[in-house]
Amino acid sequence: MAATVREVEVFPICIREVEVLRVEDVTPGMRRVVVGGPAMDSHVRDGVRLPAVCTNGFDDDIKLLPVDPQTGALPFDVPRNTDTGAVDWPAGSFQYSRTYTVRSYDPDTREMAIDFAEHEGGLASDWAYRARPGETILMAGPKHSASLPREAEWMLVAGDQTALPAIARCLELLPADLPATVVIEVAEPSHRQELKSAAPVDITWLYRSESDGESRLVETVQAAQWRPGQPYLWVAGEALTIKPLRRWAKQDRAIPKQFVEITGYWRQREIASTEAASGAGDVAPDAYGQLHEMSELLPPFAIRTAVTAGVFSAIEGGATTSARIAAACDTHPGATAKLLRHLAAMDLLTVDGDRFGLTEMGEILADPDTFASQALHFGKIQTRLDMAFLGLLETVRTGAPAPGHGFADKAQEAGFVDDFHEEAASGAVYRAPALPEAVDLDGVRTVAIYGEGAGVYADTLARVRPELDIALVGLPALNSRNAADVAQSRRDRIRRVDQSEFTPLDSVVDLVVAVDIVDDHPDPDARMLIGVLGGSGRRVVLVTDLLDPQTTDDHETESDLLRLCLYGSGRRTEAEIRALASDAGCGTPRFGSIGWGSTIVEFAGRE
């Protein structure tokens, strides 16, 4: 199944300089800043034509880059728009930005309202409480909009004051036939807002001032009256506070995961007074020290072992001694004690006598549903793929996947293919909506789509271009996985062609879309595949991730080596793709951005 039942629109991420138009206090705990100006419309900045702002979803977000209050300027170079459709973020700038929900947007006046919950020490919040009309601020986004959930019969919506802007906009967008049960927690009764909706809505307000500052959000959501039919659960707020709702939704209520969205908007931290170390005690690491840190094998295995065994979750759940942690994780007590000592040495755990606690890094790994924990679990797809690096030496010697470590070997492991498909479909949710804008569909009537996650692309095209005749092409098992990602209401409009991607289609289609499949083959096979695709379509579009051969980003080079180990291919450069298409007898490719760091490569088929 697709990762979500909310249809996604994707927009280019643009840096805009917007103007503060109005400032007002919605309540004593919420400041509203309305921004606008010419930059909200289509305009040229950094020599690039930027589209007008678009925001249609209730929880769309933007990034704000406030100036330093002391200097009145940004503490880094201004990020620039590039002609590739991406933003050039200087070092330090992305971390300096702050993310906020769009409270409302008027497309006629081009005015956007952004609500800021009052709290001391927040970079953007402090800016909002001193902002005055006429000031400017840099803004990026929204980068995408997600619709209200399709196939849901009611919504269960909850959050604290930081989620209130999204909740308010959600209620305003609800149609009359989509009821909602809502739980909102704020500091005190004066922070309550009057909310409007055309739908039948039951709202419960909670005030921390009436419970000695303690949150009652989770218990109130769990006690909410259950409406009949399929719910969609949307919760946002302080990450650790709302965390128990993940397990409750999955285990107690058995809500399918595509109908659950629980997001930590912020994280409560204890503020401690510390003195910065300086002077003679600061010693820069020498080359030997750096080499030692870079070459250690144990840290990634120790972290993944602890995540997979559930060590961090057990400690957060109250198990603090090695014996209790071992019992909670069902692991060997003596071996667990050794692992815990090393985790403490790595600053992932605190230790006080025989009791262990979580450091800030450990807290991140305590939630099994976070991206970090998912990526570091031995049983999850990212680590299962990363284990291909164990064959790197043989791959470097031969240029081919090492026996036992390549993708074909991993595909035989239980559950691997389904997990890999889910990962591909989740990524397609964000890339597919950009395809109709990135590719000229005028005159196109027949489309064939290939690759893992192709069902999301097919579903998107069927939704925005209902006149298209769309086929999913692939072996039967792949087509079954992809077909499951198509909305039930559109499945009868998308046909299956169960055959290998290396088999030419019986009749030539107007457009072939191949998602990542060329990347999954070494050069000789990729060249042959491009030739087959070129013989099956009048135009061919490859969706791929290209490699800049001059890159200094180790994430890019890591991805390149991982694909080399898995498929014997790596991430190809623009020149390499151009050479493959030329050798396959296809036309000169056109390269363009589809967003999220991905590229479309379009060329004419072989007549």
* String of DSSP letters for 411-452: TTSTTHHHHHHHHHHHHHHHHGGGHHHHS--TT--EEEEEST
Q: What is the pLDDT of residue 371?
A: 81
- Chain centroid to Cα 157, Å, comes to 21
Interaxial angle between packed helices 298-309 and 333-345, expressed in degrees from 0 to 180 and rounded to the nearest 10? 120
Please state, rounded to an integer, the average pLDDT across all residues of the chain. Answer: 91
Of 559, 500, 557, 545, residue with least CA distance to 525:
500
Give residue-wise pLDDT tens across range 486-529: 988 899 999 999 999 999 999 999 999 999 999 999 999 999 99
Separation of alpha carbons 14 and 138, rounded Å: 10
| CB-based contact 542:601 (threshold 8 Å) | yes
Strand partners, 80: 88
Q: Which has the higher per-residue pLDDT, 430 or 272?
A: 430
Of 327, 303, 305, 304, residue with least CA distance to 315:
327
Q: What is the pLDDT of residue 3?
A: 58
Separation of alpha carbons 487 and 396, rounded Å: 43
Q: To the nearest whole percent, how much of the chain has pLDDT over 90?
A: 74
Q: Which has the higher per-residue pLDDT, 269 or 144?
A: 144
Report whether pLDDT(93) > 70. yes
Number of C-beta neighbours around residue 540 at 10 A: 29
Here the tokens at position 591 are 């390269």
Q: What is the pLDDT of residue 287?
A: 73
Q: What is the pLDDT of residue 307?
A: 96
Taking the CA atoms of residue 219, residue 225, residue 227 and residue 230 in that order, the dihedral angle to the nearest 10 degrees is 10
| CB-based contact 251:261 (threshold 8 Å) | no
Query: What are residue 109's phi and psi, to 5 degrees?
Result: -90, -10
Q: How confident is the model at residue 70 (pLDDT cuts 50, 70, 90)?
A: confident
Separation of alpha carbons 529 and 496, rounded Å: 19
Separation of alpha carbons 440 and 447, rounded Å: 12
Here the tokens at position 377 are 């679990």
Strand partners, 65: 138
Report whether pLDDT(274) > 60. no
DSSP reduced 3-state for 568:
coil
Here the tokens at position 298 are 């144990």
